[in-house]
Structure formats: C-alpha cells, structure tokens
Chain A
Amino acid sequence: MKIGVLVKQVASGESPLRIDTSGKWVVEESIDFTTNESDSYALEEALQIIERSGGAGEVVVISMCPAERTPKIIREALAKGGHRAIHIQEEAPYETDPFMVASIFAEALKDESFDLILSGLQSDDLGSGQTGVILGELLGMSTATLVMGVELQKGKLRVKRELESGWFQWVTLPFPACITIQSGLNQPRYPSLKGIMGAKKKEIKSIAKSDVKGSGTPMQEFSRMYTHKAEKRTEMIEGSTDQIVDRMIDIFKKNIKVI
C-alpha cells in the first residue's frame, strides 16, 4: 500500500499574532510554527495502516510551505516513520484559496498513483477543511471526511465518520481513496532517537510551486484581516491570587448566585 500524508506547518495556538502591513496576514517572525494537530493524527494512522498490513508499503510525507520553515515538520514526520517526503516550496504571499492549493497538490502528486491519501480534517490556521476532499476529486479518488476509525477490507476501506453530538456513521469506499482524519482517533507517537538519526538520510524531493503547472488564479482571497469585537462586555478580574479568589467568590455569591 502506498500512502501519501499531507502535513501542514501552522502557527501554534499560543503564538502571539500581529497583523502585518498588508492587513491580510500576520507577522511571521513572532510565530512559533508546529505541525497542524489533525495532520499528526493522519500521519499516525498512515503508519499504523502500514504496520497492520505487515509493514509492506510506503508512507510519503507531503507538505506545501516556504522553503525556510517547513523542513522541521517534514524531518519530524520522517523521524516518526515516514519513508520519504515531497516538499512543494511556496513563496509569499501564501496561497489561501483551498481549490488552488488542492489543484497544486493534484498536479504535483498525480504521477505518484497513491492508493490512499490522508490529511487532517482542516488546518488550524485557515480552517477551510476542503483541501483533502477537492484533491481526492481532482485525482478521481473516493473521499470521506472526519474519520475516527479505519478498517481495511479487501480492495476497499470502511471508515467511521464523526457526525455532531456523539453520532457516527460507517462509510465504505473503494481504493484509491482520499480521507481526512479527525483528531483523537489514535495516539500519535513520538520520534525515537533512532528515527531521528535515520530521518537525516531519507529523501526529501523539493518542487518549486511556480514549476507546478495548472495552478491558475485564485477564486477567493482575503480582503482584510482584523481582531473581532467581543460579543460581551467582560469584567476582567485582576490582582494577587488571593484578591482574584475573593472577587470570584463574591461574584459566585452575589452576581451569579450559585453558592
């Protein structure tokens, strides 16, 4: 089984975010970049699928990002067990149209003939949640999203899809398939020391985004970025820990009346 896994480098949840001079993106220098959370689960699932089928096969790590900041997450994915990597090198301004992102992946990956492509269900930065599905469509693969469980059957795949409020649905789809993974379906592994050493020797194929044909022009673009207004007037409680606790007790008693 030949599996491709899309991993994206995104700003961590605790990164300080300042809007840049274009007014459409953030200042990248102050950002702490990390692997998109659901992509880590997708990589783990790919590694486990290969292990479950007796170790035969290949996991190819695929990422589109600027040349200078992606190798860290690619190396990490290779250290965890990915066999090789494809890095589509992007230049600023970064692509925010999910259809174009998927078109670039489709063009760059079409000759790989993957049996299965996995990605996280959405990125923590742009959150469009479409790239995996559109990529599958463009490559003529079957698709499923929000996957919380994977069963391999003869020539096909049975996956457990998450619906809202604790509901699920099993879906069966033929190979080749492109599925997007919901976080929580497995426990992503940490790279071993041996894995980290071994990763240095693994192949990373770099492709310039501008060399990928057929990417066209974006159909949607950020017009402006801003901080949203609070929905409520929030009373901020300040002071020493004791003062904060006293004020909270006061609020519980007098304002909310729960004690």
Chain B
Amino acid sequence: MDILVILEGANGAIHRISKEAVAAAQALGKDLNQKVSVLVFGKNSDNLSKEAASFKVDEVLLVEDDNLKSYSADAYAETVKQIVEKESPKFVLTGYSYLVRDFFPKVSARLQKPLITDVTGYKVEGSKTLFTKQVLHGKLTVDIETKVDGPVLVGFQSAAYSLDNLEKGSAKIRTAEVTLDSAQLKTTSEEPFQEESGGVDLTSADKIVSIGRGIGKEENIPMINDLAAALKAEIGASRPIVDSGWLPNSHQVGSSGQSVTPNLYLALGISGAIQHVVGMKGSKNIVAINRDPDAPIFEVADYGVVGDILEIVPKLTEALKNQ
C-alpha cells in the first residue's frame, strides 16, 4: 500500500477536515505516482464507507467492531496501528481534528514511527518528501524531514487543502479485521455535546470587529464596544480574550470557536495564530491593526496598520460617528 488516509466520521458523514486530507493525499499521490487508499472504521459505518467510495481513490478499507461503537482513544489508536502493520503504507495521512489529536500520537508511540502535525503542505525533493508546518507562534515555517524507513504519519492542519480539489470517483470497499481486547481499552467516552453559545451568531455577520491580546486590559473593552456600535458591527475575539474571561465563549473566532466570512473583518491586536486564522481567513476584506510588524495576521490582511490600537480606535470611532 502507498498512501493511507484515516477518515473520521462526524454526525453520520465524513468530517470536512478528513476530506481535506483526501484532497492532500490525491495531490501527493499524483506527485509521487502512488495510490491512495482510505480507512473507515466504527460500527454500522455503511454511510461513511459509501461516502468514502465516492472519492477518487484506489480502495476503501472498512473495519467494523463493537469496540468502535463510541470514541475510545485506545481502540481508535489500536485499530489504526494494526491496519498500518498489516498494509504497510508509506504514508498515513489524516485531518488533524481535535478528536484525531487525542489518539494519533498514540499510533506514533505504538508503531515507533514519526508523526508530523498541523502540516500545511509538502515538498517533493528528489527521493525525499518534506512536510511543512508553522512554528514559533506562526511567525516562521519549517520543512521537516523524516529519517526512518516505513510509514510517516502526518496530520494536516484544518483548511490547509481545499475541498474544491477533492476528486470524485468510484472505489471498491474491502473489509478488514482488527483484534481489539476490551481489557486494554482504558478510556470510555460520553456523547459529544454543544455548550450554550449565548446567542452571538458571528457566522452571518456582515461586519466584525475582533480583538486579541493587543488590547492590553479588560478596561479597554468599552472602547471596542463604541467602535463596534459606530460601525454597526458584531464583536469577535481570539482565544486569549475568552480565556481571560473578558468576553464570553460565544465571541470566539477560530478552530475552537466560530468560522466567519463577513464582508469586513477588523482585527485589532490579534497576532494571527493559525488556530485563529483558519476561522476568519475566508472573510472578504480583512483589515488588521497590530503594533508588531511581524505579526502573521498581516499575511492574510488586505489592509494593514502597524500601530497602537488604543490611539487609533477612539479617533476611528469619532470619524465613523461623523459620517
């Protein structure tokens, strides 16, 4: 086997981020002239395997087991480990969701093979395939080289590959078996649930004023409220603001919060960590103010200001009121 993509189910369908990983695998397969297979596992996974068979891949492997009925990190890791040992793929790719993050490093530990996470792309250079990721608060990028024979495990960052590039086809489904000993499965999980969001729906907002650590202190929030009122915008925030309790969770934009696509996204004092950027880079117009000229937010911004938001915001509010 060449390239194996591990698929994750979410509400009876294949998770978006898993499909992005299939798109990445199809691109890598073309560049390396390798075949792509996908793995679906669970209990009563007919829908998932049928959906997987609609992708342009060589084959769909299907594992059904009573121990895979609900999420267990040990059962999931052991399933992937046994399939990889049996099928010997050269690459094991997956979309690095918050569920996959929980069990995929266990696969790396059990196989003693390298795992590269939050990958945004790859480069084929001669006989080597390097994987690219951001480091140091998203300010720098590294190309990572592996030094082993056998499978390299890769988790792709959300939105690294576009679903528009996912090629459709018709693949055959092959059933595979694993042996799971329930005594070895240490963790048990309950049904996922959604917390009350408190009613701020940023996904349909036309304008969002969003704040990050750069606003300095909680006392500066009224200044932002004034600006948002003058601009008739909703208020968003990056994770540190919510972690500090300055705004409720429902204002959070990014992988843990909402994904937004407003006409205007005004990012104030937001550095632009990738976990935030994946939730807002689809905005039609991004305007960023930050005092750090190297802040990664400027890489996705259409308009940028290197400056102090505490100086600019009150004057901007005044000017908006006079319009």
Enumerate chain A interface residues (CB-CB to B < 8 A): 11, 13-14, 16-17, 19, 24, 26, 97-99, 102, 121, 124-130, 133-134, 137-138, 142-146, 161-174, 183-184, 187, 217-232, 234-238, 241-242, 244-246, 248-249, 251-253, 255-256, 258-259
Supposing A125-B135, A128-B117, A223-B145 touch, asked if A145 and B102 sit within 8 A by C-beta, the answer is: yes
Chain B count of residues within 8 A CB distance of the other chain:
89
**List of A residues within 8 angstroms of B271 by Cβ:** 13
Contact of B194 among A166, A187, A228, A242 (CB under 8 A): A166
Indicate if B137 sits at the interface (CB-CB under 8 A). Answer: yes
Nearest residue, chain B, Cβ from A224: B143
| Complex contact B307–A256 (CB within 8 A) | no
Whether, in the assembled complex, B264 has its beta carbon less than 8 Å from a beta carbon of chain A, the answer is yes
A226: which of B141, B255, B311 is its contact (CB, 8 Å)?
Answer: B141
Which among A144, A232, A235 is the interface contact of B300 at CB below 8 angstroms? A232
- The closest CB in chain B to the CB of A135 belongs to B109
Min Cβ gap A8→B in Å is: 13
Pairs across A and B, CB under 8 Å, 17 listed:
A17-B294, A98-B115, A162-B98, A167-B193, A168-B194, A168-B195, A172-B187, A184-B239, A217-B147, A220-B114, A220-B145, A222-B143, A231-B281, A234-B299, A234-B304, A236-B304, A248-B319
Also in contact, A232 and B302, with CB within 8 A (given A99-B114, A245-B319): yes
Residues of B within 8 A of A174 (CB): 186
The answer to whether A133 and B141 touch (CB under 8 A), given A13-B213, A127-B117, A220-B146, is: no
Q: Contact check: which of B99, B114, B312 meets A163 at CB < 8 Å?
A: B99
Q: Given the complex, which residues of A lie within 8 Å of B134, measured CB to CB?
A: 127, 228
Select which of B98, B135, B287 is within 8 A of A164 by beta carbon. Answer: B98
Tell me the B272-294 residues at the A interface (CB within 8 Å). Answer: 281, 284-285, 287, 292, 294
Instruction: Tell me, rounded to whole Å, the shortest Cβ–Cβ distance linking B105 to chain A.
Output: 4
Closest 7 CB pairs of A and B: A184-B243, A137-B109, A133-B105, A219-B114, A130-B105, A142-B186, A223-B145
Q: Contacts A225-B142, A230-B299: A235 and B189 contacting too (C-beta < 8 A)?
A: no
CA distance A221 to B134 in the complex (A): 14
Q: Does B26 contact A (CB under 8 A)?
A: no
**A16 to B232, alpha carbons, bound, how many Å?**
36
Docked Cα-Cα span, A244 to B314, in Å, equals 12
- CB pair B136–A17 under 8 Å, yes or no, is yes
Bound form: Cα–Cα A171–B105 in Å: 17
| Distance from A67 Cβ to chain B, minimum over Cβ atoms (Å) | 22
Is there contact, CB below 8 Å, between B108 and A134?
A: yes
**B174 on the interface (CB 8 Å rule)?**
no
134-165 of chain B: CB within 8 A of chain A = 134-137, 139-148
Chain B residues 293 to 323 lying within 8 A of chain A, measured CB to CB, are 294, 298-307, 311-312, 315-316, 319-320, 323
